[in-house]
């Protein structure tokens, strides 16, 4: 190392261009047996610092997407090797078009190594380089790819247990707020002009019934939505960054289906901020509120089609909820089971009872999923007719929606 950096403290910067998704840098501090010293010596997105403080993930800096700060002087005396690995969430490394790793000391670049993803087709993890102790700390540029399962694979290989906690990844709340502030529109101007501590009314006549976000709330306000919808194609849509914020009678919606964690987020609460919600409906995920986080998967609507009044029907649908919630419906003549869903995948059963409807009745309403803070809804529509009078009634009495 001494021919690259002169002191014990330096930084290793990484950048990778990827068509899809974010890449992650992880470091493994190994002992003499080529295994990690302990699980706290895997430094990755959920554990950004080694206990000794010798390895710290610092996030983007100076044009690099991820920077690792190294202090070999502070490292645990048992440490013999530090591995630097690149993994790409859910995809192979070969979707990285190109990237680099560089050594920086006192703000100056001392050495740089380039890599291209097409060298590693099919691989899901790449060990870029290792620092190892042999009398002095030395550098070995490895460039070894693995056909495996990315980070989990590497953790197992170096003696760790795979138990990646479901802590949300993606950008930090501060980064998301900065990003959202660049995209705000008219409503943010109205908010910025409203003094702290006051009520702010959205919806007609102040705004349209559909308000384009994102909206960042950085002062104490009471937002009265009057049933308006705050939306954005990509989340987060509503960002709450102050204590004692109140949001009422509002629908907050991410309008496009986004798989990326930040974009799928409807409401972001800066962790620790005390906020309250009354009659708020959400489409998208919620971050920063204990007990509300995680991914939802349910249809936007159930179309039951034409039903014969004299028949029983049962419809089933698979849905995924991240937290337990209460289920109800406001469609009369329709019953729904179970009334309480537990976290995970479940099957929702919709039952239409024979003899309930007269000929030519429109079924229209919602199935409501309620968590302690929010409501989510699935629109239901259908049309009940007398099957004897109507030749179009032909659907099965039990159906997967």
Partner 1 sequence: MKELGRRLPVYLVVDTSGSMAGEKIESVRQGIRALLMDLRGDPTAIETAYMSVITFDSDARQSSLLTDLMLFKEPVLDANGTTALGSALKLLIECMDREVVKSSSSRKGDWKPLIFLMTDGQPTDSWERAAEDLKKSRPANLIACGIGSDADVNLLKKITETVVKMENIQPDAFKAFFKWVSSSIKATSQSVNTQGNAAVNIPPPPPVIQIVP
| Least distance (Å) between residue 330 CB and partner 1 | 11
| Least distance (Å) between residue 396 CB and partner 1 | 16
| Least distance (Å) between residue 85 CB and partner 1 | 36
What is the pattern of x (binds partner 1, CB under 8 A) and - over residues 36-75? ----------------------------------------
CB-CB contact of 338 with 293 (8 Å): no
Instruction: Pick from 186, 392, 394, 398 the residue near partner 1 by CB under 8 A.
Output: 392
Beta bridge partners of 115: 99
SS3 annotation, the chain: CCCCCCCCEEEEEEEEEECCCCEEEEEEEECCCCCECCHHHEEECCECECCCCCEEEEEEECCEEEEEEEECCCCCCCCCEEEEEEEECCCCHHHEEEEEEEEEECCEEEEEEEECHHHHCCCCEEEEEEEEEECEEEEEEEEEEECCCCHHHHHHHCCCCCCCCCCCCCCCHHHHHHHHHCCCCHHHHHHHCCCCCCEEECCCCCCCCEEECCEEECCCCEEECCCCEEEECCCCCEEECCCCEEEEEEEEEECCCCCCCCCCEEEEECCCCCEEEEEEEEECEEECCCCCCCCCECCCEEEEEEEECCCCEEEEEEEEECCCEEEEECCCCEEEECCEECCEEEEEEEEECCCCCCCCEEEEEEEEEECCCCEEEEEEEEEEECCCCCCCCCCCCEEEC
210 is a site residue for partner 1 (CB under 8 A): yes
| Least distance (Å) between residue 374 CB and partner 1 | 15
φ, ψ dihedrals at 181, nearest 5°: -60, -25
CB-CB contact of 257 with 266 (8 Å): no
C-beta closer to partner 1: residue 80 or 283: 283
Candidates 70-78, 149-157, 309-317, 360-368: pick the segment binding partner 1 (CB under 8 A). Answer: 360-368
209 is a site residue for partner 1 (CB under 8 A): yes
| Least distance (Å) between residue 306 CB and partner 1 | 6
C-beta closer to partner 1: residue 226 or 351: 226
| Least distance (Å) between residue 321 CB and partner 1 | 19
Candidates 49-57, 76-84, 172-180, 377-385: pick the segment binding partner 1 (CB under 8 A). Answer: 377-385
Instruction: Pick from 283, 287, 375, 376 the residue near partner 1 by CB under 8 A.
Output: 283
Q: Which of 376, 370, 365 is nearest to 332 (CA)?
A: 365
379 is a site residue for partner 1 (CB under 8 A): yes
How many residues of this chain bind partner 1 (CB under 8 A)? 29
| Least distance (Å) between residue 380 CB and partner 1 | 9
362 is a site residue for partner 1 (CB under 8 A): yes
| Least distance (Å) between residue 231 CB and partner 1 | 5
C-beta closer to partner 1: residue 195 or 205: 205
What is the pattern of x (binds partner 1, CB under 8 A) and - over residues 294-323? ------xx-x-xx-----------------
Instruction: Pick from 73, 118, 291, 364 the residue near partner 1 by CB under 8 A.
Output: 364
Instruction: Please give the angle made by the CA atoms of 339, 344 and 349, to the nearest 5 degrees.
Output: 40
C-beta closer to partner 1: residue 121 or 362: 362
- 186-205: contacts with partner 1 (CB under 8 A): 203-204
375 is a site residue for partner 1 (CB under 8 A): no
Instruction: Pick from 157, 190, 319, 381 the residue near partner 1 by CB under 8 A.
Output: 381
**Distances in Å between the alpha carbon of 285 and those of 100, 259, 300?**
34, 11, 14
Candidates 7-15, 56-64, 312-320, 379-387: pick the segment binding partner 1 (CB under 8 A). Answer: 379-387
Q: Which of 120, 101, 106 is nearest to 13 (CA)?
A: 101
| Least distance (Å) between residue 26 CB and partner 1 | 35
- 227-256: contacts with partner 1 (CB under 8 A): 227-229, 231, 233, 251, 253, 255-256
Cβ atoms within 10 Å, residue 285? 24
Residues in contact with partner 1 by the rule CB under 8 A: 203-204, 208-210, 227-229, 231, 233, 251, 253, 255-256, 283, 300-301, 303, 305-306, 360, 362, 364, 379, 381, 383, 385, 390, 392
């Amino acid at each position: 190392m001494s021919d690259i950096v002169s002191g014990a403290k330096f930084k290793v910067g990484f950048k990778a261009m990827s068509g899809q998704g974010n890449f992650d840098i992880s470091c493994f501090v190994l002992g003499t047996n080529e295994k990690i010293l302990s699980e706290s010596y895997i430094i990755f997105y959920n554990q950004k610092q080694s206990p000794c403080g010798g390895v710290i993930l610092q996030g983007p800096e100076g044009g690099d997407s991820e920077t690792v700060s190294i202090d070999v002087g502070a490292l645990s005396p048992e440490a013999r090797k530090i591995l630097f690995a690149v993994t790409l969430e859910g995809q192979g490394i070969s979707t990285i078009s190109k990237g680099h790793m560089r050594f920086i000391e006192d703000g100056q670049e001392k050495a740089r190594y380039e890599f291209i993803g097409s060298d590693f087709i099919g691989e899901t993890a790449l060990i870029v380089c290792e620092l190892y102790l042999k009398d002095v700390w030395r550098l070995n540029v490895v460039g070894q790819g693995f056909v495996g399962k990315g980070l989990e694979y590497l953790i197992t290989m170096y003696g760790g247990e795979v138990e990646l906690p479901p802590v949300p990844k993606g950008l930090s709340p501060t980064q998301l707020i900065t990003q959202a502030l660049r995209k705000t529109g008219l409503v943010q101007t109205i908010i910025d002009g409203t003094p702290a501590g006051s009520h702010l009314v959205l919806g007609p006549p102040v705004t349209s019934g559909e308000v384009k976000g994102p909206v960042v709330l950085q002062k104490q306000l009471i937002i009265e939505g009057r049933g308006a919808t705050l939306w954005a194609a990509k989340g987060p849509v509503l960002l709450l960054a102050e204590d004692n914020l109140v949001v009422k009678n509002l629908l907050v919606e991410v309008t496009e289906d986004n798989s990326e964690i930040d974009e799928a987020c409807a409401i972001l609460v800066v962790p620790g901020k005390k906020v309250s919600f009354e009659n708020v409906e959400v489409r998208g995920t919620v971050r920063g509120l204990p007990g509300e986080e995680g991914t939802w998967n349910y249809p936007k609507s159930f179309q039951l089609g034409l039903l014969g009044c004299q028949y029983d029907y049962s419809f089933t649908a698979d849905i995924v909820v991240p937290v337990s919630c209460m289920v109800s419906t406001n469609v009369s003549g329709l019953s729904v089971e179970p009334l309480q869903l537990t976290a995970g995948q479940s099957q929702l059963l919709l039952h239409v009872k024979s003899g309930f409807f007269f000929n030519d009745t429109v079924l229209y309403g919602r199935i409501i999923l309620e968590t302690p803070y929010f409501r989510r809804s699935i629109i239901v529509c259908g049309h009940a007719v007398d099957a004897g009078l109507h030749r179009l009634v032909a659907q099965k009495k039990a159906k997967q929606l």
